[in-house]
Amino acid sequence: MKKFFSSALWHGFLWQAIGWTLGASFLTLIRVLMGLNPFATFGFTEPAWVFGGLVGALSFLGGSGVVSDWFKWAKGEETPEHHQDPDGWEKFINISLDHKVIGVQYTLSALLLLVIGGIFSLIFRTELAQHGLQFLSLQWYNTLMALHGMVMIIGILLGIAGVINYILPLLIGAQDMAFPRLNAFSYWLAPPAAILLLSSMALGGFDTGWTGYPPLSARTPVGMQMFFLGVIVAGWSSVLGALNTIATVIRMRAKGMTAFRLPIFVWAAIATSIIAMTATQLIGLSFQMVMFQRLFGMGFFDPAKGGDPILFQHLFWFYSHPAVYVFILPGLGIISELLPVFVRKPLFGYRWIAMSSLGIALVGFLVWAHHMYTSGMNEYLRVPFMYSTLLVAVPTGVKFFSWVATIWRGKVTGPYPTAFLFVLGGIVVFLMGGLSGPPNATVATDLHLQDTYWIVGHFHDTLFGGYLLPFFAAIYFWFPKATGRRMNEALGRLHFWLMTPSFIVLTLLMMRIGLLGMRRRIADYDASLGFDPYHLVMTITAFVIAFSVLIFFINFFRSMKNGEPATGNLWNSRSPEWQVSSPMPVHNYDQPFEVVGEPYDYGLADSVYVKFANKKTGGRN
Amino acid sequence: MAHLNKSEAFRQGALIFVFLAVLTALEFFVAIAIGSVVLLVTIALVKFGLVLHYYMHIYKLNATEDPDIDQHSYAYKLTTSRLGLWLFLLSDSFVFGGLAVSRFYLLGLTRPPLNQILGLVVTSVLLLSSFFMNRAEVSMEHGDRKNFILFTSLTLVLGLAFVAGVLGVEWPSAMAEGVTPSTNAAGAIFFMMTGMHAFHVITGLIFLGVIIRNGSRGLYSPEKHWGVEAATVYWHFIDVVWIFFYPALYLIGKIF
């Protein structure tokens, strides 16, 4: 406990609370001096809450000490390149510049947020099990539903950053990310963002769903503002992390690692980072404009003042559609990365896969308005956006063909490892998500499907198959690399076989009742529609999934201490990080390696991918 | 510009400044006399290209590097930092791009009733500050610390004048014309664009303050002055944004 109360995390939270209070009090004081009313429904007035929230987030950064090095630089002082991390668990709640520690920090935070988001969904899923309102008010239903969306999204973003941070420098043979301090800074933006986001519940919540469309978002309680602030702060975390990723891949590769000898996951990470680094600014901007509309009466989205709510949707979806590619591309990259290891065959069509990741990212910038067919935007925009959206199926199809061809006649000896099961599950579920996509992209059918449970089923399939199942695969696969122990296989299989079939049932039923006319985002439905049995089954499957996640956590924490030791090349992988012992040494590779062959030539005799220097070289650290 | 000696580099910077000044005057004339949007956009793009190449030295991103260079050397890290800064600017430009798109989406080819002369004045002040910033960087590259301090301070003063001009003169005068944040979408867009830009100018001023302080304490040398280079590029980036925002707010379109 003493270690916790002296940690950067605790100091950050403490300072966030102090900064929040001081900021809000300061603004209230100014309001008093200006003769404005100092207090409102939720104690402070809305401007005071917003200003306080902003000051609080900045205070967190100051208080946790993640910006101290930069202040020293501004004062002209030098700081050491590497901090010494303590050995125990407390390094994970303190500032560390080591990408492996930061990767674990990201991953643990992501899991925590996924659990919180999952609990929200269980609450309102239970409410939906029966028609009529049982225990939630409409306001709470809306708030939980919206927060489920955004908390999950930020959990996914952190999870991606976790995998990229941990794996990517190892895959390319770097000692660390290109900008270690920026890396730490990106991570430490996440905790205050999460606090801001969750604080919206205490400030009246909000009704808009995670999309925050005006005009409704200009009217809901103050919670809306905390939601906006939280997303903006988390968005900066994503932007800076992506920037760091791109710089790392361009600048820190091992010798001989040319573009087409990069591990395929690195291509996916690049594609994802291009989107995250640029488009994220637009969701931040759109949310900021609504914030200002609320605070200063600026009429961007207010038709009475010559504004236009459709503009918000354009700005918002310019990020929020590519964002789903930010979520899935690393997941699909993990699938492509792990599949050859398990089936002992070369990855089919390596270059096509690499290019398809970039293709999805670039086409992804041109499809945003397919969310707006029914919004009242200019009708001539519909057809071009329909075609650009359908075009996404081409590079995605390339990936599926490659996976199928890679699996074809592959040899897996013995029982399937859990990580492999999750890879296969990811492919199947993502296929369901992919096939349910074109009906939404096609204008004629989307006009009927818009805002139904069909859409809910579709995007849960894409995100589960494209991100969550591969994320679990990555955890089961690289867990030994981080800890030197492997996770329990029996529990892992139980986790998989409980989670995936129930999830498939859940989303199929979502699509089914969506086609029958169930609207999304509603707290209640008409009993005469006959949806009660469907909703009951869906609620049960949701709890089965939650139970499987509980098994995962038991496995995860037990294996850290008591798992079967696995220090060698457990998966018989060709990738460089498995050629050294586990857990990974502090400064990664003691000897630099050179890339001398193709990365995925599994099953081919005397093909070498990486060659380690024989003698110890005299680099620093 | 390593291959130019100091006076050549000064001369080049001055020449580019003259070009930019002439283009700015031409732009103003085009807006008053012809009102051609295509021409105004073209002029802005030319100014953008000049600043990008001659003041921001974007070509340094493409510099060839010794393949056996030590990854821990200053030179290697400098190239990495430079890449990081440019990626940041690319990301940041999406904010400004989003604002520009919003401006044309909401207002089309109309503009708020602003004082064009005042706009030209603040634009000139910012342009002049870029000129001095370039001289400051050249001075540091050639080890002339005294001039570095002088020119950076001049940049700082002009930057302050710009902020004072926009926030202290332009905003009240716009409000007097009825362009306020809350009357209509045009006012909202005007205050959002200039406000977001002014926020960046203020961060740039802080950055300039830091390099003046560290420069006067002798922390920079002709070989090692990444702080100066970064502040310079950032300052010119602020100028680049204004190259587009100025015509978008003051020149393009008819007063509604």
Let me know whether A324 and A405 are in one domain. yes
The verdict on B63 touching A (C-beta cutoff 8 Å) is no
Let me know whether A22 and A144 are in one domain. no
Chain A CB contacts of B181 below 8 Å: 292, 296-298
Q: Please compute Rg for chain A using Cα positions.
A: 24
Number of structural domains in chain A: 2
- pLDDT higher at A615 or B68: B68
Nearest to B102 among A74, A278, A311 (CB): A311
Chain B CB contacts of A326 below 8 Å: none
Query: Which candidate in B106, B110, B180, B256 is best for mutational testing of the A interface (most A CBs within 10 A)?
Result: B106
Nearest Cα residue to A188 out of A95, A56, A91: A95
Rounded CA-CA distance A277/A269 in Å is 12
Rounded CA-CA distance A203/A50 in Å is 11
CA distance B216 to chain A (A): 11
With respect to residue A462, please indicate whether it lies within any of the assigned structural domains.
yes
Chain A CB contacts of B92 below 8 Å: 281
In chain B, where the domains are located: 6-255
Chain B CB contacts of A315 below 8 Å: 98, 101-102
Let me know whether A127 and A252 are in one domain. yes
3-state secondary structure of A588: coil
Chain A CB contacts of B95 below 8 Å: 281, 284-285
Q: Do A307 and B183 touch (CB under 8 A)?
A: no
User: Which domain CATH number covers A531?
Assistant: 1.20.210.10
Chain A CB contacts of B210 below 8 Å: 74
Q: What is the DSSP string of chain B?
A: -TTS-HHHHHHHHHHHHHHHHHHHHHHHHHHHHT--HHHHHHHHHHHHHHIIIIIS-GGGGG----TT--TTSHHHHHHHHHHHHHHHHHHHHHHHHHHHHHHHHHHTTEE----HHHHHHHHHHHHHHHHHHHHHHHHHHTT-HHHHHHHHHHHHHHHHHHHIIIIIIIHHHHHHTT--TTT-HHHHHHHHHHHHHHHHHHHHHHHHHHHHHHHHTT---SS--HHHHHHHHHHHHHHHHHHHHHIIIIISSEE-
Phi, psi dihedral angles at A205 (to 5 degrees): 65, -165
Let me know whether A211 and A299 are in one domain. yes
User: What angle is formed at CA B23 by the lines to CA B19 and CA B28, rounded to 5 degrees?
Assistant: 155
For the segment B179-186, the average pLDDT, to the nearest whole number, is: 91
Nearest to A299 among B182, B214, B217 (CB): B182
CA distance B190 to chain A (A): 10
Nearest to A298 among B95, B182, B227 (CB): B182
Confidence of residue B140 (pLDDT cuts 50, 70, 90): very high
3-state secondary structure of A369: helix
Let me know whether A149 and A62 are in one domain. no
Predicted confidence at residue B2, as pLDDT, reads 53
Nearest to A289 among B83, B192, B214 (CB): B192
Residue B203's DSSP bridge partners are none
With respect to residue A75, please indicate whether it lies within any of the assigned structural domains.
no
The verdict on A362 touching B (C-beta cutoff 8 Å) is no
Nearest to A285 among B80, B98, B188 (CB): B98
- Give the chain B residue whose CA is nearest to the CA of A250: B80
CA distance A279 to chain B (A): 7
Q: Do A307 and B185 touch (CB under 8 A)?
A: yes
Contact (CB, 8 A) for B100 and B249? no
The whole-chain average pLDDT of chain B stands at 93
The verdict on B224 touching A (C-beta cutoff 8 Å) is no
Let me know whether A50 and A147 are in one domain. no
Rounded CA-CA distance A573/A568 in Å is 10
Nearest to B184 among A246, A278, A299 (CB): A299
- Give the chain A residue whose CA is nearest to the CA of B88: A243
Q: What is the DSSP string of A92-114?
A: GGS----HHHHHHHHHHHHHHHH
Six-digit token string for B27? 């732009």
Predicted confidence at residue A465, as pLDDT, reads 94
Let me know whether A104 and A146 are in one domain. yes
Nearest to B188 among A280, A284, A299 (CB): A299
- Residue span of the structural domain in which A164 resides: 96-575+585-612
Nearest Cα residue to A85 out of A93, A96, A74, A76: A96
CATH classification (class only), B6-255: mainly alpha
**CA–CA distance from A418 to each of A426, A581, B50, B96 (Å)?**
12, 22, 57, 47
The verdict on A270 touching B (C-beta cutoff 8 Å) is no
Overall residue count recorded for chain B in this entry:
256
Contact (CB, 8 A) for A103 and A91? no
Rounded CA-CA distance B179/A413 in Å is 74
Predicted confidence at residue A614, as pLDDT, reads 63
Residue with tokens 């890290």: B77
Phi, psi dihedral angles at B16 (to 5 degrees): -60, -40
CA distance B71 to chain A (A): 8
Rounded CA-CA distance B25/B243 in Å is 13
Q: Do A247 and B83 touch (CB under 8 A)?
A: yes
Q: Do B84 and A178 touch (CB under 8 A)?
A: yes
Confidence of residue B22 (pLDDT cuts 50, 70, 90): very high
Please report the sign of the dihedral spanned by the C-alpha atoms of residue B36, residue B42, residue B46, residue B52: positive
With respect to residue A86, please indicate whether it lies within any of the assigned structural domains.
no
Q: Do A298 and B98 touch (CB under 8 A)?
A: no
Q: In the A/B pair of chains, how many CB contacts fall below 8 A?
A: 110
Let me know whether A214 and A356 are in one domain. yes
Q: Do B188 and A292 touch (CB under 8 A)?
A: yes
With respect to residue A285, please indicate whether it lies within any of the assigned structural domains.
yes
Task: Using 70 as the pLDDT threshold, list the residues of chain A that sit under it.
Answer: 82-83, 614-621
Contact (CB, 8 A) for B139 and B113? no
With respect to residue A619, please indicate whether it lies within any of the assigned structural domains.
no
Portion of chain B with pLDDT greater than 70, in percent: 98
Q: Do B105 and A314 touch (CB under 8 A)?
A: yes
Contact (CB, 8 A) for A124 and A144? yes
Let me know whether A407 and A276 are in one domain. yes
Let me know whether A566 and A602 are in one domain. yes
Let me know whether A13 and A148 are in one domain. no
Let me know whether A65 and A100 are in one domain. no
With respect to residue A436, please indicate whether it lies within any of the assigned structural domains.
yes
